[in-house]
Structure 1
Amino acid sequence: MMLFAKATKYLNKLPSLADRRHFWGWLNAVFNKVDYERIKAVGPDRAASEWLLRCGAKVRYKGFDKWQQDYNGLPSGPLGKYKIQAIDATESCIMYRGFDHLEGLVHVEEIKLIRCIYIEDPCLERISAIANLQASLSSLEVVSCGNVTDRGLLALHHLSNLQQLFLSDLPGVREKEKTVKILQTALPKLVVEQDVQ
């Protein structure tokens, strides 16, 4: 009986599930905060790299084959040397409030948003509104992002260079065929691949 009382007392001291979720949500929001002074000091590619890696994503630089995923191993050197060419945000905590980091990136050709719980329609709308990405982004994957709906996908029509779009496991997308048809009409070079579920 004494052991049960001690265990109950210990369990009652642990934060509730809601408290733990709130803490992680708060921490992720801190990781996504944009420091505009930092962007000015180190340039958009370095600042975006720091943001993405801090949030658990990976980046690949133009002219390099290796993915950079270790925040402490970020390359140093001339600010203009390392330009982000690809972003893999698989299972990362990137969220809308951090997307201002994408401004000024002119070499991004590929973005993967896979199992990102904070990705929602405003994130896709923001990507689509950034002029640099409209010109450079050619490949996008949106997979298992439950908060994405048809509205977010339709915003992608602004990405004039988009040639490949892979979609899978998007329960919020209700009219997938119609949405894909509209996108392909707006972007004739676009090839849309989907997992049949």
Structure 2
Amino acid sequence: MSLLTNIHIALPRKLYVPRINQNRTFWEYVNMMFNKPDPKRIEAVGPDRACAEWVLRNGGRIIWADGKKLADYNSLPSDEQAVPKIIEIDGTNSSISHYGFPHLSGCTMLQRIILHNDNYIDDRAMKGLSYGRKTLTHVQISKCPSVTDLGVKEIKILDKLETLKLFDLQGVTNLEECKKYLQSHLPKCQIQGGEKKINENST
């Protein structure tokens, strides 16, 4: 009876663990496919249009340089129509991830990025913000549970930042220390944040 009991306990563990791994691998693959840049598409329609498609396809919003806001992928103009430059990306509640951040490199007027309540945003995405270092002046990272202290410190590369908002980051163990570290690298940047929410979704 003891031997049978041990076998009965061991089998479910063997069957259950790979299933979790398979699910994680599957959804990671799906996320990658929805996010990663397509060089041919970028060449065909331009970096700002391709970046807008990436953000909207994953549930985010953008603001064009003419002030118009867009949240619906199906509202994009046809490929033949020229589009303005992107000045803001709002990734609130979206599924954008680090796979898509190379899109930022071609957006020459992109100033603001908001990443709020994004489960796919992690330390790799923090490092990926470097693709926008030439133009980004305002960044908000909030309620992104997979971002850690190491990821926050990657923001030091954004040397044109004027405003940085950090709050509700459960994966960060010492936010104050991170802020001091960033301030030493970005002395001209106003760094805001703490445990309490501040001006959520607004840079």
TM-score by length of 2: 0.79
Alignment-derived partner of residue 12 in structure 1? none
Once the two structures are superposed, the pairs formed by residues 24-173 of structure 1 within 5 Å of their partners are 24-64=27-67, 66-76=68-78, 78-79=81-82, 81-128=83-130, 130=131, 133-173=132-172
The one-letter amino acid paired with 1:84 is I
Change (3 A) 1:20 1:149: closer
CA distance in 1, matches of 2:184, 2:51: 32
Deviation string 1:104-150 (CA, Å, 9 cap, x unpaired) is 1111110000011111111111112x2xx212111111111011111
Shift of residue 63 of structure 1?
2.0
Instruction: Give SS of 2:133's match.
Output: helix
Shift of residue 52 of structure 1?
0.6
The one-letter amino acid paired with 1:37 is K
How many residue pairs were aligned? 176
Q: Which ranges of 4 or more aligned residues in structure 1 deviate by more than 2 Å? A: 17-30, 75-79
Shift of residue 29 of structure 1?
2.7
% identical aligned pairs: 39
Shift of residue 27 of structure 1?
3.3
CA distance in 2, matches of 1:173, 1:28: 24
The one-letter amino acid paired with 2:162 is Q
CA distance in 2, matches of 1:49, 1:58: 8
Shift of residue 23 of structure 1?
5.8
Instruction: Give SS of 2:106's match.
Output: coil
CA distance in 2, matches of 1:34, 1:25: 16
Instruction: Give SS of 1:103's match.
Output: helix
Instruction: Give SS of 1:93's match.
Output: coil
Alignment-derived partner of residue 179 in structure 1? 178
* 170-179 or 82-91: bigger deviation: 170-179
Across the aligned residues of Structure 1 and Structure 2, the Cα RMSD in angstroms comes to 2.0
